[in-house]
A and B are shown apart, each in its own frame.
Chain A
Amino acid sequence: MIELIGRSFREALEGLGSAGRMCLEAGRSARDVRTWAPLATDQMRRLGVGSLPIGVLIAAFTGIVLALLASYSFTNSVPRYLVGTLVQKTVMMELAPVLTGLALAGRVGANIAAELGTMRVTEQVDALETLAYDPIAYLVVPRILAGLLMFPIVVGVAMMVGLGAGWLASMGLLDLSSAQFLKGARLFFDDFDVRYGLVKAASFGVAVTAVGCACGLEARGGAEGVGAAATKAVVTSAVLILVLDAFWAVVWLLGRAV
């Protein structure tokens, strides 16, 4: 039992260390623009645009459920228009970034880890090095860049879709007028809500892609190793998303509250 705990802790530290090292190397390799720039657009489309449907779907259902949940929770002493406030704040600041991030951790993180893991076990990465390509600049930088830029896009769209779904659900299912919902949504709206969600999404994107790349490039032992790398990438990314979520809340929200 104790050994298990120690091993888990060591592996987690190793994962974080390799991801951090990967980020540092990616930062250094980012200067090699000619290597990663032609690939960045493709990665952004694959990781970002390809993830829009899942992000939109999650956000739509989240907005609907939040509106129903708010209506269920509020008693007669709470004005109905606060349904809009709850949906706006919760979707924009928390649920859209975190749920979309978790979904993309499964989709994007596993995809990157499996792809790079396969390249590693089939020695394609070694071939790149042989051809004088920097594998970090060629494989990692475009993906991290795609995660950094496209996660906020996906999460931003998810925010708006979630808010719209909550709005429609309030009008269609809760007998709440459009004006009432908008009054609540506007009541405590601040630009900061959007900035906070997008910055969190960007950090999630970097974490998911960096962990996916690190796990993929460290894959060993064939198909089994590739599967293990994909699993490890998803789990580590999910944990990192939650840790980063708490980090931003403590650093940014707590500072504003004080």
Chain B
Amino acid sequence: MKRRSNDFVLGAVILGAIVLIVGVSMFLRESEIGSKRQRVVARFSDVGQVQVGNAVVIRGVKAGRVEAIELGDDGWVLVRLNLEKSVELPRSPVVLLGASSLFGEWQAMVTERQSVPNNREVAAALTASATGAGTALPGAVLPDVAQLTTVAGGIAGDVASVAQRFQVAFNDSAARELRSSIRSVAQLSAELARTVRVQSKHLDTVSVDVRAGAADLSQAAEAFLRTVSRIDSATSAGEVRTIVSESERAAGQVREASVRLNQITQSLEKTESHLRGVMARADSVLLKVDQGQGTLGLLVNDPRLYQNTDSLLRELRALLADVKKQPKRYFGVKIF
């Protein structure tokens, strides 16, 4: 009796545990026993991170699960999708595999060919997959976050490399040189501004001068006109002839003055030649003096002679003073 009780309890526990485990597992897998399903096969060159059990969605609504993934011919991968019987596939359907969140979960999306994101690689993969696919739907893998982050990482690396190179090139000395260049450019621009200001002032002056010149020209023209009018009036009075005769006389006087000037010039040339000779002789004398030749040369170049002369002069002054003081001592006037 006890053994039968043991067997019953044990059997009940084992059966209950198995039912519980299998039931919970099926519940978590969302398995449906006896429901009508349809199966669709899609062909891919690569399935990314998709696994058996991942969701299949149509227009964002879950419509089934990935049932199997297996290698096909010619390097293709065949993915069998288990869809609900009532689901209608879109026209010209394609299957896109992609991440459904940032946490590694993937899904298969059944969509129309026209709704595929505008991506060159995806379009090429779909075209290749559709060629010779038979009843299998063409499929492609959308670029996932990892690929995007890899590309972004590469870009960031390039930027870092450029920044590093810029940092190497733009060191302290480069910064100093750049600052110096900026300062020079500022000075140059200030100089240019100053020059422009000066030149504009000059231009103002020139324009004023030009204006004054134009006024003078205007006045001269008026004077010329007046002269012309006078000439015109003088012509009629016989004054021109007088002027011409006076002009002839003046020209004769100018010619005489020119002859006299010519004579004066010739006389000046002679004087100049004399002067040159005098200068040459004076130069030779000065040369001799400088070389210490002759008395003057000795006087100039020998300090002792100067000192002797000086002392002689001093003695002469003393003698003259003494003669003035005691003339009788030196002079005796005798008449007889």
Using a CB–CB distance below 8 Å, which chain A residues touch chain B?
Answer: 38, 41-42, 44-45, 48-49, 52, 79, 82, 88, 149, 153-154, 156-157, 159-160, 163, 182, 185-191, 194, 198
Which residues of A sit under 8 angstroms from B24, Cβ to Cβ?
159-160, 163
- Cβ-defined partner of A88 (8 Å) among B7, B10, B21, B28: B28
B12-20, B158-166, B182-190 - interface stretch: B12-20
Complex CA gap A88/B29 in Å reads: 12
Asked whether any CB of chain A lies closer than 8 Å to the CB of B171, the reply is no
Could you say which residues of chain A place their CB within 8 Å of the CB of B17?
153-154, 156-157
Residue of B nearest to A161 (CB): B20
Residues of A within 8 A of B29 (CB): 186, 189, 191
Residues of chain A within 8 A of B10, CB atoms compared: 41, 44-45, 48-49
Instruction: Answer whether residue B330 sits at the interface, using C-beta atoms and an 8 A cutoff.
Output: no
Q: Are B53 and A160 in contact (CB under 8 A)?
A: no
* Contacts A/B (CB < 8 Å), 6 sampled: A44-B10, A157-B17, A160-B24, A163-B24, A190-B53, A194-B25
Number of B interface residues at 8 Å Cβ cutoff, please give it.
Answer: 21
Interface residues of B in 4-43 (CB under 8 A from A): 6-7, 9-10, 13-14, 16-18, 20-21, 24-25, 28-30
Given A88-B28, A191-B29, list of 9 further CB < 8 A pairs? A45-B6, A49-B9, A153-B17, A159-B21, A159-B24, A186-B29, A187-B105, A189-B53, A194-B25
| Alpha-carbon gap, A160 to B18, bound state (A) | 11
Instruction: Specify which chain B residues have a CB less than 8 angstroms from the CB of A188 in the assembled complex.
Output: 105
Residues on B with C-beta less than 8 A from A44 are 10
Q: Which residues of A contact B21 (CB under 8 A)?
A: 156-157, 159-160, 194, 198
Closest beta carbon of chain B to A132's beta carbon, Å = 23
- Which residue of chain B has its CB nearest to the CB of A157? B17
Q: How many angstroms between the C-alpha atoms of A172 and B101 in the bound complex?
A: 27
Q: Is B120 in contact with chain A by the CB < 8 A criterion? A: no
For B13, list chain A residues within 8 Å (CB): 48-49, 52, 153
A38 to B6, CA, bound (A): 11
Within the assembled complex, what's the spacing in Å between the Cα atoms of A88 and B27?
Answer: 13
- B28 → chain A closest CB, angstroms: 4
- Dominant secondary structure of chain A at its interface with chain B: helix
Interface presence of B331 (CB below 8 A): no
Chain B residue, CB-CB nearest to A52: B13
Partner of A38, one of B3, B28, B53, B105: B3
Please name the residue on chain B nearest to A158 by beta carbon.
B17
Measured CB to CB, the closest approach of chain A to B55, in angstroms, equals: 9
Q: Is the CB of A42 within 8 A of B6?
A: yes
CB distance from A141 to the nearest CB of B (A): 17
Minimum C-beta distance from A35 to chain B (A) = 16
Q: How far is it, in angstroms, between the C-alpha of A194 and the C-alpha of B24 when the chains are bound? A: 10
- Note all chain B residues with C-beta closer than 8 A to A153: 13-14, 17-18
Give the complex CA separation of A52 and B30 in angstroms.
28
Partner of A185, one of B3, B7, B28, B53: B28
Determine the distance from Cα of A82 to Cα of B105 in the docked complex, in whole angstroms.
Answer: 12
Whether A42 touches B3, Cβ cut-off 8 Å, given contacts A156-B20, A160-B24, is: yes
**Shortest CB–CB separation between residue A64 and chain B, in angstroms?**
17
The answer to whether the Cβ of B336 comes within 8 Å of any Cβ in the partner chain is: no
A160 touches which one: B7, B20, B101, B103 (CB < 8 A)?
B20
Residues of B within 8 A of A52 (CB): 13
Which residue of B has the minimal Cβ distance to A152? B17
**Known contacts A82-B103, A185-B28, A186-B29: A157-B20 contact under CB 8 Å:** yes
When distances are taken between beta carbons in the complex, the residues of chain B under 8 Å from A159 are: 21, 24
Give chain B residues whose Cβ lies under 8 Å from the Cβ of A49. Answer: 9-10, 13
CB contact under 8 A between A41 and B14, given known A160-B24, A188-B105, A194-B21: no
Query: In whole angstroms, what is the CA distance A41 to B3 when docked?
Result: 8
CA distance A153 to B25 in the complex (A): 15
Q: Are A186 and B30 in contact (CB under 8 A)?
A: yes
A190 to B28, CA, bound (A): 9
Interface string of B86-122 (1 = CB under 8 A from A): 0000000000000001010100000000000000000
Residues in B neighbouring A198, C-beta threshold 8 A: 21
What are the residues of chain A within 8 A of B30 when measuring CB–CB? 186
Taking a contact as CB atoms closer than 8 A, the residue among A79, A156, A186 that contacts B28 in the complex is A186
The answer, among A79, A88, A149, A154, for a CB contact under 8 Å with B103, is: A79
B7 cross-chain contacts in A, Cβ below 8 A: 41
Residue of B at shortest CB range from A190?
A: B53
Q: How far is the CA of A15 from the CA of B219 in the complex (A)?
A: 138
Chain A nearest CB, measured from B12 CB (Å): 9
Which 10 A-B residue pairings sit nearest by Cβ, starting from the closest? A189-B28, A156-B21, A153-B17, A45-B6, A160-B24, A41-B6, A49-B13, A45-B10, A157-B17, A160-B20
> What separation, in Å, do the CA atoms of A190 and B25 have in the docked complex?
8
| B180 to A: closest C-beta gap in Å | 50
A129 to B103 CA separation, bound complex (whole angstroms): 62
